[in-house]
Amino acid sequence: MNRKEFSDKVYEIVKDIPSGQVATYGMIALLSGYPLRSRLVGQALHHVPDFLSIPCHRVVNHQGRLAPGWTDQQQLLSNEGIHLKENGCVDLKKYLWDIELYKLKC
């Protein structure tokens, strides 16, 4: 799979994350078929073309931390009812997307 195909696969998966839930880069990598490519997921999301409507704000790291330097991410999540813990991380126990249902769909 080349980089464009990988990015397209990532975008398709991220579009399926329900509003009010988050996924991790690692989860997206796993669902794409490349479980060791979580950094590549981050790169793909960093370079989403403007004309695509991809809810990248719903993807966080494995600890629930937001993307560094993206000041709007917290507000976008808050608009969907996702509130951060005191440490600034998303509560993954509360807001993590259940990918088992997604895998059944595929």
* Topology (CATH) of 3-105: Arc Repressor Mutant, subunit A (1.10.10)
pLDDT of 101: 74
Read off the pTM: 0.93
The Cα–Cα gap between 106 and 97 comes to 15
- For 85-97, how does the pLDDT look when each residue is reduced to its tens digit (9 = 90+)? 999 999 999 999 9
pLDDT of 106: 63
| Residues 37/47, Cβ–Cβ less than 8 Å | no
Q: Which residues contact 2 (CB under 8 A, 6 or more apart)?
A: none
What is the average per-residue pLDDT within 12-19? 96
